Structure 1
Amino acid sequence: MFALLMALAAPLASPPEPAAARVAFDRHHIVSRQARGLADRATTRRVTVADPVRVASVSKLAVALGVMRLVDQHRLDLDRDVSAYLGWRLANPAFPDRPITLRTLLSHTAGVRDGVDYALALDDDLPTVMARHAAWDTGHAPGAYFTYANLNFPVIAAVMEGATGERFDRLMARLVFAPLHLNACFNWTTCRDSTLRHAVVLYRADGSVARDDLHGQRPPCPGTPAHGGSCDLSRYRLARNGAFFSPQGGVRIGMTDLARLGAVLDGQRPDFLSRDALSAMTTPVWRFDGSNGDSEHGFYCAYGLGVTILALPGRPAPCRDDPFGDGRVRIGHAGEAYGLRSGLWVDPATGKGLAYFVSAVPDNAAKGTRSAFTAAEEAAIDGR
């Protein structure tokens, strides 16, 4: 009885500290590194700034870089009807004569909506999915209205495959990760075996595993298996799935490598991406005027080609898109999935940038005091 009373009186064990990492950089080198918490609670392995983590929608920026490299190579045209690359007709059923272009897909102004599941199985057919009215905004013509939608990026991946005849994950390794010497991949397919041993396990706020509990092993299937359970990748059809390797959010990358990716946004690698291509990416295609798009409570107020633009001067009062709180314009992207919040942001005027992630953030996390971002993200930006 005494032992029971002592056990009841003992304080409850505090939950493990969630994994988080932050890397600040400038035009020449990394300025600071911070990491805390456990990358794997089962083994008590602590996280480092180099450990690969699923950075969610920051992946869209990496995909945009791949697209723009193909534009530089004259293999893609931003303003051509993408049906010409896909080999099947893509159109908003309410506006069948209005072409869908990479410029509108990359800027979330094509009218694509997440009204259907964008996590397609291996044997799913993207043309069938995109023929559904629920995949489209039937009230606005392409190019007229911004709504952030993940489904744009499986379509973009399929376009890239149609133009090159290469599978998306391998194409991104060739176009982006290898030239920049990044230890990064989509859904673990092209990462080295040794990289998997350092994967950051993503946990939900309640402590349950959300993603990437790999135990050092490559996942048995890099995407959603076929409906019969098979993961025979020979069944993957170029330009007719696009979603299997998670182009909307599936990059695994450490913060040191993400910082190196961010350095491209400062224009210091014209050998990798032309200045014209970089300018096209980082110039607003859409700017919120109060009625021309869904800003998600002021989170989005300007968007380029796979690039979010923060704190543009002259934006309307509902905009709360400055998590840094200093009024400086920054370019990059945020990510949110499986309890993780991530960000890659560069000040193009100074070349200073920041790559970070925080994990085990609740779905209903408190908002920050100075923006529509969460308090956890603002704290990461501040280095707290």
Structure 2
Amino acid sequence: MRAVALLLLLLSGCAGRPAEVRPAEVQVTFDANRITFASARGIADRATGRRVTIDDPARVASVSKLVVALGVMRLVEAGRIDLDRDVSDVLGWRLRNPAFPDVPITLRMLLSHTSSLADGIDYIVPLGVRMRDAVADPKAWDVAHPPGRYFHYANINTGIVATVIEAATGERFDRVMAREVLRPLALDACYNWGEGCSDAKVARAVVLYRANGDVARDDLGGKRPDCPVVAVAGCDLAAYRPGDNGAIFSPQGGLRISAHDLAKIGQMLLRRGDGFLKPESVAAIETARWTFDGTNGDTSQGFYCRYGLATQTVPTLAAGCEDDLFGDGATWVGHAGEAYALRSGLWIDRTGGRGIAFFTTAVADGSKGQSRYSVEEERIVRKAAGETAVMPK
């Protein structure tokens, strides 16, 4: 009886604690024409015990920005928008840094984070709030630097890019992305569970868990959420006017996509557009528009040192830069993602003709490897790149 009582006491002491979670870790390496390696391990949904696969969609955080850039370049090629035109002309309202009211802001600046916008306000602008009202707050701006001259990574940039896309097309951001990017590339993916994801794909969603086991995001129970956008008071999308606030579909980080489908994007880039984009459009995306010179930007403690149109280039061998994710001497272009205890990436080494798409969940806050990237990211990509560097304890 005493043993039974002790067991009950131990069980009661665990009540309410999150269950231990095994991270879901997926990676797919590729060259221009084939998948060269794929691995998936861990649990996608603790409630059902479902194991993760390379085809299960996860919220890949800021890798979403790179995919937005693909949509922008498709519209540029179609003559619908211009990278260097004042976006105010498309938005129908004046987008200006209040400290520099005469300096136009362009899509090229927004995509390269040189627009002088800053995340001084909440970049998650919900349904019912107009983007023009959100960025009217002076805290949305870096008033010390004019547009076009200083790098300041800010998620709100991508929300405005999505709003420009809507204003130029007259359509919801998620629908434009499905038509211009996801379907042409045969990707079963979507922004914030909006247009583009099949019901079967939604049912395979990867639940994002924190390192302590708490649910962080996307515990869907196999069903599409009732509201696919960020909303605080009702979800009347029928009344939404495209161009008011493209941020409702979380263009900065809300893409749900599998590592396998991310690899298809990487292969398209390695093939220099492959009919989806012109080679010069791919080059425009990849080419670093900004390189840190010691004074011309905020590197986030050495994480960002070269940036293109929603792409990072690593490594940068300069003082103040700690962006050597791969540690193999090669130059890699792509984008990293970090949110809700997930780390992700889509990277290509054009010279080596190779790439990697990956994500891993339940990463502890503050995890840091030899670079500014996490231990988990370095372990995944350095193994894939043939690197044998010992990770710090």
TM-score scaled by length of structure 1: 0.95
Contact 1:123-1:235 within 8 A present in 2 as well: no
Structure 1, unaligned stretches of length 5 or more? Answer: none
Q: Give yes or no for contact 1:122–1:235 (8 Å, CA) kept in 2.
A: no
Closer/same/farther in 2, CA of residues 7 and 59 from structure 1, 3 Å limit: same
Does 2:340 align with 1:338?
A: yes
Matched, 1:374 2:380: no
Residue in structure 2 matched with residue 207 of structure 1 by the alignment: 213
Counterpart position of 2:159: 154
* Residue matched to 2:4: 3
For 1:361, which of 360, 363, 366 is the aligned residue? 363
Task: Give the Å deviation of 1:382.
Answer: 3.2
CA distance in 2, matches of 1:297, 1:111: 19
Shift in Å, 1:327: 2.0
Is 1:255–2:256 an aligned residue pair?
no
1:304: which partner in 2?
A: 308
1:297 Cα deviation from its structure 2 partner: 1.4
Pairing partner for 1:324 from 323, 326, 330:
326
Q: Is the 8 A contact 1:82 1:102 kept in 2?
A: yes
Residue in structure 2 matched with residue 225 of structure 1 by the alignment: 231
CA separation of 1:88/1:204 partners in 2, compared to 1, >3 Å: closer, same or farther?
same
Distance 1:9 1:238, change over 3 A: closer
Q: Which residue number in structure 2 is paired with residue 279 of structure 1?
A: 283
Shift of 1:287: 0.1
**Secondary structure of 1:353's match?**
strand
Whether the aligned pair in 1 keeps the contact of 2:127 and 2:230 (CA below 8 Å) is: yes
Question: Which one of 225, 231, 235 corresponds to residue 239 of structure 2?
Answer: 235
Query: Any idea what the Cα deviations from partners look like across 1:32-57, whole Å, max 9, x if unmatched?
Result: 11111100001000000110000000
Cα deviation digits, residues 219-247 of structure 1 (max 9, x gap): 11112224xx3101023221111110000
Task: Answer yes or no: is 1:350 the counterpart of 2:391.
Answer: no
Farther off after superposition, 45-54 or 232-241? 232-241
Q: C-alpha distance in 2, partners of 1:253/1:131?
A: 33
* Map of 1:93 onto structure 2: 98
CA-CA distance at 1:318 after TM superposition:
1.7
Q: Secondary structure at the match of 1:345?
A: strand
Pairing partner for 2:28 from 10, 17, 23 = 23
Structure-1 separation of matches of 2:19 and 2:115: 47
Q: Separation in 2 of the partners of 1:9 and 1:152? A: 50
Structure 1 range deviating more: 94-103 or 158-167? 158-167
**1:216 and 2:222 equivalent?**
yes
Alpha-carbon displacement from aligned partner over 1:164-194 (angstroms, at most 9, x marks no partner): 1111000000110000001111111121111
Aligned pairs (5 A) from 1:101-112: 101-112=106-117
Contact 1:21 1:358 in 2 (8 A): yes
> 2:82 is matched with which residue?
77
Q: Distance in 1 between matches of 2:5 and 2:356?
A: 50
Partner residue, 1:67: 72
- The letter of the residue matching 2:176 is L
In the alignment, what sits opposite 2:203?
197
Amino acid across the alignment from 2:155: N
> What corresponds to 2:294 in structure 1?
290
* Alpha-carbon contact 1:358-1:380 (below 8 Å) kept: no
Residues 132, 353 of structure 1: alpha-carbon distance in 2 compared, 3 angstrom cutoff: same
Question: How far apart are the structure 2 equivalents of 1:266 and 1:91?
Answer: 37
Q: Supply the distance in 2 between the matched residues of 1:179 and 1:72 (Cα, whole angstroms).
A: 15
**1:182 counterpart residue number:** 187
Q: Distance in 2 between matches of 1:158 and 1:14?
A: 40
Offset of residue 383 of structure 1: 4.2
Listed one character per residue, the Cα deviations across residues 329-383 of structure 1 (whole Å, up to 9, x for unaligned) are 1110000001100001000112200001010112222x112x1101011112134
CA distance in structure 1 between the aligned counterparts of 2:140 and 2:10, rounded to whole angstroms: 55
Question: Cα distance, 1:8 vs. partner?
Answer: 7.9
What is the match of residue 391 of structure 2?
none
CA separation of 1:359/1:294 partners in 2, compared to 1, >3 Å: closer, same or farther? same
Distance in 1, matches of 2:213 and 2:7, equals 26
| Structure 2: 5+ residue stretches without partners | 385-393
- Separation in structure 1 between the aligned mates of residue 373 and residue 234 of structure 2, nearest angstrom: 39
- Residue 115 of structure 1 aligns with which residue? 120
Give the total of aligned pairs.
377
* TM-score normalised over the length of structure 2: 0.92
Displacement of 1:264: 2.2
Query: 2 CA distance for matches of 1:6 and 1:195?
Result: 41
The 8 Å contact of residues 57 and 205 in structure 2, kept in 1 or not, is answered as yes
Amino acid at match of 2:296: N
What is the one-letter code of the residue matched to 1:222? P
Contact 1:23-1:49 within 8 A present in 2 as well: yes
Partners of 1:179 and 1:282 in 2: CA distance:
20
Conservation of the 8 A alpha-carbon contact between 1:22 and 1:383: no
Amino acid at match of 1:218: R
Q: Which runs of 4+ in 1 moved over 6 A?
A: 6-10
Whether the aligned pair in 1 keeps the contact of 2:273 and 2:282 (CA below 8 Å) is no
